[in-house]
Structure 1
Amino acid sequence: MSKNIIITGTSRGIGFELVHLLANQGHNVLALSRNAKPVSNLNFDNISSFAFDLCNEEDYQNVADFVKNEWKHVDILINNAGAILNEPFADTTFKDFEKIYQTNVFGVAELTRVVIPFMKSNGHVVTISSMGGIQGSMKFAGLSAYSSSKGAVITLTELLAEEYKETGPQFNVLALGAVQTEMLAEAFPGYKAPTTAIEMARYIQDFALTGNKYYNGKVLQVSNSTP
């Protein structure tokens, strides 16, 4: 049965692949990214997209209006968008931290808050985090803002699962290891990851559709390598 699925960060990498995997399965997908063009120029009747900036409060109303007018409900939300900064801590300013947290934490929280009223009890909110956000995992200099923000959404997910455990939806986090994407290249220039974007997208696709039968409020470490 086809589901209504919202995905953020869809202009490249894992998000771009996810949109097409799920659309090919027959699901209705709302693809959100600051640049809607890469997705909107493809001929799929079941993919909708418009420009959406997690840092722009007005854009959230557009999502609510779309769901109200087109779908009525949302089955799955995949918080995939993320911003990265690789900068020595001494050079990382208040504004730098604010910018990373705006996308990686505040944006995730706000979009989730906007979408939850449209979700049924068996809905699933999947947030994409990073191994860098896992306590005790290997850490890398220069990623203080990024990795700490990824730790924040793990705790946020645990809190939401507790708060909505009687009514649903379910909330889980996937903490990804190294995946060969443009974002990885920004953080670790020259590093070759063993996992491609399409391989990871397939894993997330399956987890988003079925993972909430088995997990709620959990963080799964999806990593076969360091970084």
Structure 2
Amino acid sequence: MKNIIITGTSRGIGYELALQFANEGHNVLAISRKTPKSLIENPNITCLAINISDENQLEQVSNFVSTTWKKVDILINNAGSLLHKPFQEITSKEFQDIYKVNVFAVAELTKICIPYMSKGSHVITISSMGGIQGSMKFAGLAAYSSSKGAVITLSELLAEEYKEQGISFNVLALGAVNTEMLQEAFPGYEAPISATEMADYIYNFSLTGNKFYNGKVLQVSSTTP
């Protein structure tokens, strides 16, 4: 039984991941602004309804871990914010808001968890094919894709910094997954992979991927995008 923190659990991949881990007997801390009733009712899931872009609210995570678990085995930085808008129309605030969720919150939450991690712990950050250097890029995703590139470099650096402690950091750069977030940004586009199918892949990688990888970026995409 492992202690697992997952962000972005109100819907999509994060929601499916929380249920899958809990149903297999693991302890889950599910973090999202909105909390589905089905997660609250699961005895293996603790829900925190917070905005991860607010550093003050992240203190609730620190308080929970320090008083209840005292150990974190897996952190899955899954939460993401996507903006589809022409570059010249993106305001400074909108750009910053994307980075607050996709980059700064990842850094802060990881910083909170590291003192409670030990050899064998695994940090997985969900990025995007749009953040991969040299990959096909799509107009209107300047803020989103650049932020996803930033967390790739962050994870590579952290893998080096904490390798002596045996904490692994890996990135999964996903292609298009048929989630609500994708439908909101690209109405009518049907991705070939469902949220449940991708959650199943991430579930297994979270538990075993650190035996084979550290500081690596795995491209998880069967199509373009």
Per the normalisation by structure 2, the TM-score is 0.98
| Structure 2 partner of 1:11 | 10
Deviation of 1:45 after TM superposition, in Å, equals: 1.2
Given candidates 182, 188, 191, the residue that maps to 2:180 is 182
Deviation of 1:39 after TM superposition, in Å, equals: 4.8
| Structure 2 partner of 1:33 | 32
Separation in 1, partners of 2:156, 2:186: 29
Percent identical? 65
> SS in structure 1 opposite 2:154?
helix
Deviation of 1:200 after TM superposition, in Å, equals: 0.1
Code of the residue aligned with 1:8 in structure 2: it is T
Separation in 2, partners of 1:85, 1:130: 13
Code of the residue aligned with 2:212 in structure 1: it is Y
Q: Does 1:146 align with 2:144?
A: yes
Unaligned runs of 5+ in 1: none
Code of the residue aligned with 1:52 in structure 2: it is I
Separation in 1, partners of 2:220, 2:188: 22
Aligned CA distance change for structure 1 residues 104 and 38 (closer, same or farther; 3 Å)? farther
Alpha carbons 1:76, 1:208 under 8 Å: kept: yes
> SS in structure 1 opposite 2:120?
strand
Residue by residue over 1:66-103, the C-alpha shift from the partner in whole angstroms, topping out at 9 and shown as x without a partner, is: 11111110000000000000000010111111000000
> SS in structure 2 opposite 1:56?
coil
Alpha carbons 2:55, 2:105 under 8 Å: kept: no
Separation in 2, partners of 1:89, 1:72: 43
> SS in structure 2 opposite 1:44?
coil
Alpha carbons 1:6, 1:78 under 8 Å: kept: yes
Aligned-CA RMSD value: 1.0
Given candidates 154, 165, 168, the residue that maps to 1:170 is 168
| Structure 1 partner of 2:128 | 130
| Structure 1 partner of 2:20 | 21
Separation in 1, partners of 2:184, 2:127: 17
Code of the residue aligned with 1:200 in structure 2: it is M
Separation in 2, partners of 1:182, 1:38: 18
| Structure 1 partner of 2:65 | 67
Per the normalisation by structure 1, the TM-score is 0.97
Deviation of 1:36 after TM superposition, in Å, equals: 2.1
Separation in 2, partners of 1:87, 1:39: 34
Deviation of 1:186 after TM superposition, in Å, equals: 2.2
Separation in 2, partners of 1:59, 1:77: 18
Aligned CA distance change for structure 1 residues 63 and 19 (closer, same or farther; 3 Å)? same
Residue by residue over 1:18-57, the C-alpha shift from the partner in whole angstroms, topping out at 9 and shown as x without a partner, is: 001111111000000011244544x321100021211111
Separation in 2, partners of 1:37, 1:139: 34
> SS in structure 2 opposite 1:23?
helix
Separation in 2, partners of 1:200, 1:148: 22
| Structure 2 partner of 1:52 | 50
Unaligned runs of 5+ in 2: none
